[in-house]
Amino acid sequence: MDANTLYCSLELVAGSGHTLNSEQRAALQTSLVILRKNYKFKRVLFWGKIMGLKEDYFIAQGRGEDELKDRTSLYSFNCIDWLQLPPATDALINHVTTAAKGRFIGDPSFVYDHDPQQRPGTEKQAEEVMAAKVTEEMRLAVTVHLIDEEVSVVPRGAFVKRPHGLVQLNPSFSGLSESEAIKLDNYLHFSEPKNLKKKSILELGELNPAIDFLDVLSDDIPKGSWSLQLECAGRVCVLRSLLWLGLTFYHVPMTQQHGYIYMGYGNKNLDLPFML
Amino acid sequence: MEDPAAKVKALLLKSSSESQLSLYDHLVQVLMKVIDEETHNAVDVFEDLSHHVKQCSLEERQSVLKDFPQPTPAELLAEQQRLLFVCTDDADQEEDLVEMALPNVSELRFFLEQAGVGLGREEMQRICLALKQLVDSEALLCCRLWGKILGTRSSYIVAEAECREGLEEEEQSAESTLEQEERHDDTKEKHVNEKDPLPQTNFKPPPVVPKEAIGTGANKFVYYVCNEPGLPWAKLPLVSPAQITAARHIRKFFTGRLDTPIVSYPPFPGNETNYLRAQIARISAGTQASPQGFYQMVEEEGDEEDEVLRDSYEVNPDFEGIPTAEMSESLSTWVHHVQHILQQGRCTWVNLATKAGDDSNEEEGDEREEAENEPEPEVGPSLLTPVSQDAEMFNSPPWSTKLSSRLTPQHAVAVLHSNLWPGAVTYACGKKFDNIYMGWGLKYVGEGHSPALPPLPQKEFPSGPEISEAVDPSVEEEQALEEALEEQEAA
């Protein structure tokens, strides 16, 4: 969620039970301004909190010219000193997903032990050695990347794709109407589309290429991996991901206010098919 | 000679055959809008401005014919919640009682916010008023905000209350009449079947573990839930040991509707009401903690009543409070004050073998056998055991402690998070502490939940000549046989 509207946004997503205390809020209001200046971001978002056994990671995200591609994630323990996370490459994602399991500890230099004896082979040996040295900082980078990839949400029309391919905030977005806001079709994944190319020409014909350049939430598998509710006396539309428990998205119908935050343990809910 | 400008203006003024608008008027309106509103970067959003102007002109005309507005969910809820803010005047008589019963939710919110937990200020205020409504309508002696359980379609706000003495008897009598009715039904069925008796199975279902009475063990408190503050509170039924043991094996999301059936394997006895109650019992037993010394055991005379003693405690009047710095570092300063639920699904162990013997007096032989292999009684940790003695599961410690503030630790509160039940939080500050649960009502299961497998299919009956099918002889074969028999007789 945007750092400028952090205070009121936190109240709107508080229905999930997690919030920030006043010391952290005050610290964020100070440090995110400095962060934006130092890193020359166009916009800074408070991304969320990943709770570890000993310490909690606070995550901020800077956005550049292109909102979809120019993203930089940073973490902090005290909401003041921010450290940049390494970029999550495909190779890194593979290493981390095989090596790191269980809860986050709260120590970025913690090394996850991994059994390199599982797949004996000359080629794979090098990979395994890499995988054996997965630090928690790498895992954090991958987790943040995966959450962004799989469950970040925006309402339809909030972002436009410019003719040059840049994705930017839509200045004339005036919010979903009350009847639109309770339908999952009007919310989009804010990541590179995967299902869009698989759609038939007939389906694509109805879409507006400037707005509908992202995947729709209602196409997610399994069906029912989102929980859509009206909260705060029925005025705010709140979406919770059941795949990454802790991700909360809010949108106030008929206004521009929308955003998402992750406050959880950084573990993907792999049991989802059994739980619906 | 015509003025070319006038010619162009005439062209622009030409009204469209469809909308009866002219481009000239439209441009005037758009430019007026830009000038009036001083739109920033107007050229970039010109098409939107134009669109908006057209939309506005259309809306005005449509105002004559409007749909009858359907009440939105927000409006319906607001009507319900309005009742929370109505001041009742007859509260004067029972003022003392209400003050005792109603929890101080604002104070709770203040401390929880420091711990990084909360539902938002307005929501907490509404919950406070809803609790007041509950206390007034049910005349509860003591009530506490237990927490919030998130569901896929709506959430549950859970209130914990101490039951009144009268209530207990009412419910028990109601239950016993129900049971009697069931027995009547059984006997009737037997009478009907007497003429043509079906073969009786010799399978005896394993004895059912009896429920704990209201006010003891897992049923120590009664729980009320509602979806939104202002909506009616629903009372949850008592929990049975079978439900607790079944809930341990399944992993399901709550939907937010109490009457939803629980479709799971192994099957769960009951619907979402019972599942919710079972999870509440498990969470309470696992996560409710208090600073050491806040409660003390009730000291009574007579050593025979050991079992009774174990589940009663009282507030220690001499408790001075433990420094928060110490509480945030050492787990041994926190103790459980809710009884552990045993494997059997009860807090106090009951010997099923003897119970079964009492019921069926006919089979004395069985009784003796059962007496021989009497099961070992299950014993859990006693009350007020420090949480540091909890076992480590899934390679992670069961509890984490934190201090709420780094910069001003002298005014911070100590916070205890449960790692087995993510979402369960306890704070302590001086003599004050409270427990709350806000989460999905699910236990941490380490690396993925593996559902129980169905039992192996039963073996088929061994095939032999007496059950295998023979091919019917054809007419020719029968005739041949008859002829052979006749020949034998003749011979």
Q: Note the ipTM here.
A: 0.88
pLDDT at position A32 is 92
Which single residue is written with the structure tokens 């739109």? B39
Average model confidence (pLDDT) across chain B = 79
- Is B381 within 8 Å of B340 (Cβ atoms)? yes
> Do the chains contact at A172 and B148, CB–CB below 8 Å?
no
Please tell me the predicted confidence (pLDDT) of residue B304.
45
Which residue from B minimizes the CA distance to A240?
Answer: B152
| Residue B297 tokens, joined | 């055991």
Cβ within 8 Å, pair A232-B122:
yes
Strand pairing of A226-231 and A83-84?
Answer: unpaired
Contacts of B370 (CB under 8 A, 6+ apart): B353, B354, B356, B357
A229 interaction partners in chain B (CB closer than 8 Å): 153-155
**Which residues, 6+ apart, have CB-to-CB distance to B341 below 8 Å?**
B217, B218, B244, B281, B282, B285, B347, B380
Inspect the interface and report whether the beta carbons of A271 and B118 lie closer than 8 Å: no
Q: Tell me if B370 sits within 8 A of B355, measured CB to CB.
A: no
CA distance A123 to chain B (A): 28
Q: What is the DSSP letter of A85?
A: P
Q: Transcribe B166-181 into DSSP letters.
A: HHHHHHHHHHHHHHHH
Q: How confident is the model at residue B486 (pLDDT cuts 50, 70, 90)?
A: very high
Q: Which helix (H) or strand (E) holds B11?
A: helix B4-13
Phi, psi (rounded to 5 degrees) for A226: -130, 145
pLDDT at position B2: 67
Helix (H) or strand (E) holding B254: none
pLDDT score at B366:
44
Maximum CA extent, chain B: 144
Q: pLDDT > 70: what percent of chain A? A: 93
- Minimum-distance CB partner of B400 among A54, A102, A232: A54
Residues 77-116 on A with a CB inside 8 Å of B are: 78, 101-103
Phi-psi region of B375 (alpha: psi -120 to 50; beta: other; left: phi over 0): beta
Cis-peptide into B266, omega within 30 deg:
yes
At B379, list the tokens: 């014993």
Taking residue A162's Cβ as centre, other Cβ atoms within 10 Å add up to: 10
Q: List the single residue in B with minimal CA-CA distance to A103.
A: B396
Q: What percent of chain B has pLDDT over 90?
A: 14
pLDDT band at B188 (very low <50, low <70, confident <90, very high): very low
Measured CA to CA, the distance from residue B39 to residue B52 in angstroms comes to 13
Which carries the bigger pLDDT value, residue B223 or residue B69?
B223
- Please give the Cα distance from B458 to B421 (Å, whole number): 38
pLDDT band at B1 (very low <50, low <70, confident <90, very high): low
Write the CB contacts of B130 (distance below 8 Å, at least 6 apart in sequence): B84, B157, B226, B229, B230, B233
Element (H, E) at A69: none
A234 falls in which pLDDT band (50, 70, 90)?
confident
CB contact under 8 A, A11 and B81: no
Q: Which two tokens stand for residue A97?
A: 């997903």
Q: B152 and A17 in contact by Cβ < 8 A? A: no
Residue B74 has pLDDT above 60, yes or no: yes
Instruction: Determine the average pLDDT of the residues in B132-142.
Output: 84
Query: Residue B376 half-sphere exposure, CB side, CA atoms within 13 Å?
Result: 5
Name the least confident of B1-10, B123-132, B171-180, B379-388.
Answer: B171-180
Q: A173-182, B189-198, B201-210, B317-326: which has the highest mean pLDDT?
A: A173-182
Residue positions counted in chain A? 276
Lowest mean pLDDT among A22-36, A230-244, B13-27: B13-27
Output the pLDDT for position B266: 86
Q: Which residues of B touch A268 (CB under 8 A)?
A: none
Nearest beta carbon to residue B113 from set A19, A54, A276: A19
> Could you give the 3-state DSSP secondary structure of residue B204?
coil
Which of B43, B119, B283, B438 should be substituted to probe chain A, the one whose Cβ sees the most A Cβ atoms within 10 Å?
B119
User: What pLDDT is attached to residue A61?
Assistant: 93
* Residue of A164, A240, A174, A170 whose CA lies nearest to A212: A170
Q: Assess A184–B contact: CB distance below 8 Å, yes or no.
A: no
Per-residue model confidence as pLDDT tens digits over A122-142: 455 555 555 567 888 999 999
Q: Is the pLDDT of residue B357 over 50?
A: no
Percent of chain B with pLDDT over 70: 81
Instruction: Compute CA B221 distance to the chain's CA centroid, rounded to the nearest angstrom.
Output: 15
Q: Which structure tokens are listed for A83?
A: 């450290």
pLDDT surpassing 90 at residue B156 = yes
> In this predicted structure, what is the pLDDT of residue B313?
78
Mutate to test the interface with A, among B149, B440, B450 (most CBs of A within 10 A): B440
C-alpha of B341 from chain center: 17
Mutation for A interface: B406, B408, B413, B436, most A CBs within 10 A: B406
Torsion angles phi and psi, residue B248, rounded to 5: -70, -25
- Which of B79-93, B149-163, B476-490 comes out lowest in average pLDDT? B79-93
Q: Residue with structure tokens 């498990």?
A: B282
Euclidean distance between CA atoms B128 and B101, whole angstroms? 12
Report the alpha-carbon distance of residue B153 to residue B171 in Å, rounded.
Answer: 31
Inspect the interface and report whether the beta carbons of A227 and B394 lie closer than 8 Å.
no
Map residue B154 onto helix, strand or coil: coil
pLDDT at B95: 52
CA-based radius of gyration for chain B: 36
For residue A201, pLDDT over 70 is answered with yes
Handedness of CA B383, B388, B389, B392 (dihedral sign): positive
| pLDDT exceeds 60 at position A101 | yes
Determine whether the interchain pair A17/B423 forms a contact, defined as Cβ–Cβ distance below 8 Å.
yes
Identity of the residue numbered B66:
K
> CB contact, 8 Å: A16 with chain B?
yes
Q: How far apart are CA B319 and CA B308, in angstroms?
A: 24
Q: What is the mean pLDDT of residues B203-226?
A: 83
Q: Are B231 and B80 in contact (CB under 8 A)?
A: yes
> Chain A: residue nearest B123 by CA?
A232
Q: Which two tokens stand for residue A112?
A: 């996850």
**Total Cβ atoms within 10 A of residue B472:** 7
Once rounded to an integer, what is the mean pLDDT over residues B7-35?
Answer: 86
The segment with the largest mean pLDDT, out of A121-130, B18-27, B345-354, is B18-27
pLDDT at residue B93, rounded to an integer = 52
Across the interface, whether the CB atoms of A17 and B439 are under 8 A apart is answered yes
> Are B394 and A102 within 8 A, CB to CB?
yes
Average pLDDT over residues A179-187: 89
Give me the residues paired with residue A248 across strands.
A240, A261
Tens of pLDDT, residue by residue over B359-392, are 444 444 444 444 445 667 777 777 788 888 887 7
In this structure, of A34-38, B97-101, B398-402, the range with the lowest mean pLDDT score is B97-101
DSSP for A118-149? SS--HHHHHHHHHHHTEEHHHHHHHHHHHHHH
Question: Residue B312's pLDDT band (boundaries 50, 70, 90)?
Answer: confident
Residues B219-248 have a mean pLDDT of 90
Helix (H) or strand (E) holding B462: none
Calculate how close chain A gets to B74, using CA atoms only, in Å. Answer: 4
At residue B361, the pLDDT reads 43
Q: At what angle do helices B105-114 and B121-138 cross, to 10 degrees?
A: 140
**Lowest-pLDDT range of A4-8, A42-46, A130-134, B133-137:** A130-134
Cβ proximity of B129 and B137 under 8 Å: no
Between chains, do A15 and B45 touch, taking CB under 8 Å as contact? no
The residue-averaged pLDDT of A159-166 equals 89
Judged by a CB distance cut-off of 8 A, whether residue A200 touches chain B is no
d(CA A161, CA A169): 9
Please, which pLDDT band fits residue A210 given cuts at 50, 70 and 90? confident
Contact assessment for residue B74 and residue A230, using Cβ atoms and an 8 Å cutoff: yes
User: Would you call B447 and A101 a contact, using CB atoms and an 8 Å cutoff?
Assistant: yes
At residue B122, φ and ψ (nearest 5 deg) are: -65, -40
* SS3 state at B403: strand
pLDDT at B257 over 50: yes
pLDDT of the residue at A115: 57
Summary mean pLDDT of chain A: 86
Q: Give bridge partners of residue B291 from the DSSP assignment.
A: B334
H or E, element range at B296: strand B295-297
Under the banding of pLDDT at 50, 70 and 90, the label for residue B484 is very high
Q: Give the residue among A87, A75, A45, A84 at the shortest CA–CA distance from A266.
A: A75
- How far apart CA B382 and CA B196 sit, in angstroms, is 55
